[in-house]
Structure 1
């Protein structure tokens, strides 16, 4: 028993009650921090997204800048804790799920050749340029490979959101970008696994690399080969479900395939995109897309703000870092744009340029690669800062250029 005296009153409370009350207070404080952090993120996303749209700038640019402003670099209102990082990843999952719902598999098949060439060249060129840049800076082979791998990365979520905002997801160049992004993710993550192994001092045989690649490709093929016929077979039953129940089915499918994609070594956003494409086969007959869109409209902006939260501007104070980062940015843009211009040249110069620009943003994917290299001690803080500047510039500038170059839906329609 614990006794308190003071202020003219006397109270006796069991010690267990006091301890549980202390734990409850601590829990409440943690919940308050969590909610305030989410409040600032959602508020900043709404305000800066709206202002950016009003100025004719893609909302995602405003949201990334909002994250930088409220994050550790400037106002320090929010830090990218585990909760926000997890919520941001969920936002990316539902963004790509929604993009998948607006994409027909047969449309991607029609641009398969261009998408494959764009993806392969969009990996080969940046990897070679980044590796050469690292050697020019007198880095070791493995460190230079990490820089090249950071240049290989493509944040399809950023480009997909800009295309979605503009209403051009059904345009041919957009289909090439999405198809190339799936292939890019498969090849890029295989490359990251190999380079990470080298950074840890491990040797990786050709058979192991082939196994990683085979699992990724096999997963994509399996989802599409099994999922599309299956959803068509159950279409009559799905049509009889209420909106709420069909929405639940869609969410289960999206999250399930996203989770399974991680088992295959792919990013969960690729699984979500595939799940969306599977369900796109029945969306015209079964209503659920509006509810998915409402959920995505809340979660996706969180993802873009958190990308900004993770950008530490404090490491960019060295003029040497800024100059090297700008050079690296130019190389990053050249690598992807060249991949688009050559890989999609059959579509014409303007369309192929759009494809290349659409592959430029590095976003959170570039951050992940750089963070892995820094944590493993393969790259130093200066190189990390240079990659960080490249990620920031490609993430912010590419959507602006894409919006300026991309045709409006009515101009993109074929002539009668």
Structure 2
């Protein structure tokens, strides 16, 4: 009887969605948002009860309510924008739990993990593309898709596990920031080559210098400024302190796009700056409240964008599985070699943390398809790689961490 009532409720709401879609855009968007939030809550809770990271359940929720299965929600501009804001608040919150001093202690390992985690997947992806008979530019773009790392997904898993203060987690976060800087520079170069542009070393150096300079300037100037302003911030009410935090977070997220970086990097840096005074200025709870609402939307929309219909051809599945294996091996080796000073177990955790491609991989694949740099078949292969690394890597990371804790607690 209970199942029958739930089915009737689902049928009524689905009918309401259809009526809203026909009657006006606002109604359709509200129903769409309703389905996104409901699916995220239900599947996230179910995943947690099964011992699976909630983000995996939320990505699966997006697949279920999206165009591939139930067709309740489509990845329209509104949801894509809301998801990006969700990612911004997620990384802002992660930044608030990360202090610069902690990252600097793992700076060498983070740099090595990032560089190796770019070089190895790029080489493997490029070789795979050439083996398939693709052009040099198309093969290079496949390699670029393998370079991408979704720091949002891994950061949420680390947050759920409560290990953001662990050394291996700091290496992952530091490497992810460096990965984003180098990866986006590489994407700009490859896109330029695909458009027939002649890119000079000076142009590439300028792009890289601007990105690195932005990160350095934010941390070098922002932290002393916020420490100096601490007495004034402490006198503010909770609402006003939260408004200040909001302005800093969104402002740096916007400025990071001017520097050629993803807005999530600016949000992460803003969180790191404000982390220096969060113990004295109570605004974290309000930021967490917004993040708790918007971050699940981000993960559901990742699932919405995955079109399972493109993965029906056996040749695509086989090639996609091979590409997934290369994607995992490249990042895993990067972690093992770059973070070997942490020991084999924690170095493996670092490598696994860099595996999920998530929304970053989707963006790279979409850009390649839209620019004509890769065809529909290659796009579907990359899509399968993104789907598998996004869902499987967090599961393995969580299982590995639990095993590591048991080893540490053993007498």
1:280 — aligned with what?
275
* Cα distance between partner residues in 2 of 1:193 and 1:245: 39
Shift in alpha-carbon separation, 1:239–1:28, aligned structure 2, 3 A:
farther
Provide, for residues 275-326 of structure 1, a one-character-per-residue CA deviation record: whole Å limited to 9, x for no partner.
0000000001110101100100000000000000000000001000000000
2:14 — aligned with what?
none
Contact 2:324–2:385 under 8 Å retained in 1: yes
* Cα distance between partner residues in 2 of 1:409 and 1:249: 40
Contact 1:154–1:365 under 8 Å retained in 2: yes
Asked if 1:361 corresponds to 2:356, the answer is yes
Contact 1:260–1:271 under 8 Å retained in 2: yes
* Cα distance between partner residues in 2 of 1:117 and 1:413: 26
Contact 2:336–2:348 under 8 Å retained in 1: yes
After TM superposition, give the deviation of residue 411 of structure 1 in Å: 6.8
1:315 — aligned with what?
310
2:154 — aligned with what?
159
1:11 — aligned with what?
none
1:128 — aligned with what?
123
Contact 2:21–2:27 under 8 Å retained in 1: no
Provide, for residues 376-402 of structure 1, a one-character-per-residue CA deviation record: whole Å limited to 9, x for no partner.
111110000000000000000000000
2:300 — aligned with what?
305
2:175 — aligned with what?
180
Asked if 1:196 corresponds to 2:191, the answer is yes
State how 1:1-12 maps to structure 2 within 5 Å. none
Aligned-pair Cα RMSD in Å: 1.7
2:10 — aligned with what?
none
Asked if 1:31 corresponds to 2:29, the answer is no
Secondary structure of the equivalent of 1:402? helix
Query: Which protein shows a greater Rg?
Result: 1
1:14 — aligned with what?
none
- TM-score w.r.t. the length of structure 2 is 0.93
Shift in alpha-carbon separation, 1:128–1:409, aligned structure 2, 3 A:
closer
Provide, for residues 63-95 of structure 1, a one-character-per-residue CA deviation record: whole Å limited to 9, x for no partner.
000000000000000000000000000000000
State how 1:81-120 maps to structure 2 within 5 Å. 81-120=76-115
After TM superposition, give the deviation of residue 26 of structure 1 in Å: 10
Asked if 1:230 corresponds to 2:263, the answer is no
* Cα distance between partner residues in 1 of 2:192 and 2:160: 39
* Cα distance between partner residues in 2 of 1:260 and 1:335: 31
Structure 2 gap ranges (5+): 1-19
* Cα distance between partner residues in 2 of 1:283 and 1:28: 46
* Cα distance between partner residues in 1 of 2:306 and 2:354: 20
1:333 — aligned with what?
328
Shift in alpha-carbon separation, 1:26–1:75, aligned structure 2, 3 A:
closer
Match of 1:219 among 214, 228, 231: 214
Contact 1:63–1:301 under 8 Å retained in 2: yes
Structure 1 gap ranges (5+): 1-24
Q: Count residues with an aligned counterpart.
A: 391
Secondary structure of the equivalent of 2:24? helix
* Cα distance between partner residues in 1 of 2:193 and 2:105: 38
Contact 1:167–1:409 under 8 Å retained in 2: no
Asked if 1:74 corresponds to 2:81, the answer is no
* Cα distance between partner residues in 1 of 2:187 and 2:373: 13
2:7 — aligned with what?
none
* Cα distance between partner residues in 1 of 2:304 and 2:108: 37
- TM-score w.r.t. the length of structure 1 is 0.92
After TM superposition, give the deviation of residue 406 of structure 1 in Å: 1.2
* Cα distance between partner residues in 2 of 1:166 and 1:344: 20
Asked if 1:271 corresponds to 2:270, the answer is no
Contact 1:171–1:412 under 8 Å retained in 2: no
After TM superposition, give the deviation of residue 99 of structure 1 in Å: 0.1
After TM superposition, give the deviation of residue 338 of structure 1 in Å: 0.1
